[in-house]
């Protein structure tokens, strides 16, 4: 799948909800309840970060969940792309972009949301054919002001900013023409997952789903 098609698919996913919850799941057994709470709250696109032993089993558990689109996040290598795809992920997210990851995503037919932090990184991704990128780490590198500035010379690129996004600052991003959605971990913190507080997570998802409207 060429990068252009991958980015087109990522744009479709981003159009489904203004926020992609970034999930660190440490107990795959809770994944179905977590997924149901997020989908019920109006957030169907879920990024499960490959940062825990439970991540791949969690992706597997979530991949059959009705109404959910589950991706593998924190993809750092070609192997991560393959493992995510095998587990049932339908997209992949990386904090950056390497040749190996780009090749693996193309070979696996897995839509990739590659990360960029500078104009040069965004231009390199664009040269490869990607026009929908993750801006990471968004708040630390300039936030909404940076995205507004990048829109001038690079109007064909859109971004999903991630890293430091909150319910308070998300509207500033979502008001920009080059930001169809944002990503963030605030919706399903690990403490709430451990406490199995699905109503609290669903309530946060519901509030997030209304952002930018």
Q: Which residues of 97-135 are buried (b: 16+ CB within 10 A; e: fewer)?
A: beeebbebbbebebbbbbbbbeeebbeebbebebbbbbb
Provide, rounded to whole angstroms, the least separation between the CB of residue 95 and ligand 3PG. Answer: 6
Query: Which CB sits closer to ligand 3PG, 31 or 135?
Result: 135
CB atoms within 10 A of CB 24: 19
Q: Which of 47, 106, 139, 202 is catalytic?
A: 47
The DSSP letter of residue 166 is -
Provide, rounded to whole angstroms, the least separation between the CB of residue 164 and ligand 3PG. Answer: 5
Query: Which CB sits closer to ligand 3PG, 22 or 155?
Result: 22
Q: Name the nearest CA neighbour of 158 among 182, 137, 124.
A: 182
Radius of gyration of the chain (CA): 16
Q: Is 121 a catalytic residue?
A: no
DSSP E strands: which ranges in 11-151? 19-23, 45-49, 69-73, 91-93, 112-113, 115-116, 132-135
Query: Which CB sits closer to ligand 3PG, 43 or 165?
Result: 165
How far is the C-alpha of 21 from the C-alpha of 24, rounded, in Å? 10
Q: Which residues bind ligand 3PG (CB under 6 A)?
A: 22, 73, 136-137, 162-165, 183-186
Provide, rounded to whole angstroms, the least separation between the CB of residue 66 and ligand 3PG. Answer: 26
Query: Which CB sits closer to ligand 3PG, 5 or 145?
Result: 145
Q: Which of 85, 106, 134, 202 is catalytic?
A: 134
Provide, rounded to whole angstroms, the least separation between the CB of residue 98 and ligand 3PG. Answer: 16
Q: Is 134 a catalytic residue?
A: yes
Catalytic residues: 47, 134
């Amino acid at each position: 799948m060429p990068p252009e098609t991958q980015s087109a698919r990522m744009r479709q996913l981003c159009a489904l909800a203004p926020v992609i919850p970034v999930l660190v799941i440490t107990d795959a057994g809770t994944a179905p309840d977590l997924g149901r709470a997020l989908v019920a709250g109006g957030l169907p696109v879920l990024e499960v970060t490959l940062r825990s032993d439970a991540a791949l089993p969690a992706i597997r558990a979530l991949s059959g969940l009705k109404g959910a689109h589950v991706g593998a996040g924190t993809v750092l290598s070609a192997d991560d792309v393959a493992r995510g795809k095998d587990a049932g992920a339908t997209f992949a997210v990386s904090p950056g972009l390497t040749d190996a990851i780009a090749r693996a995503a193309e070979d696996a037919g897995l839509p990739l949301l590659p990360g960029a932090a500078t104009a040069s990184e965004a231009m390199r991704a664009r040269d490869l054919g990607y026009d929908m990128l993750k801006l990471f780490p968004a708040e630390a590198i300039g936030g909404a002001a940076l995205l507004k500035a990048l829109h001038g010379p690079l109007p064909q690129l859109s971004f999903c900013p991630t890293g430091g996004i909150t319910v308070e600052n998300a509207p500033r991003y979502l008001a920009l023409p080059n930001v169809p959605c944002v990503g963030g971990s605030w919706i399903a913190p690990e403490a709430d997952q451990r406490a199995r507080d699905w109503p609290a997570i669903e309530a946060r998802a519901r509030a997030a789903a209304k952002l930018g409207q």
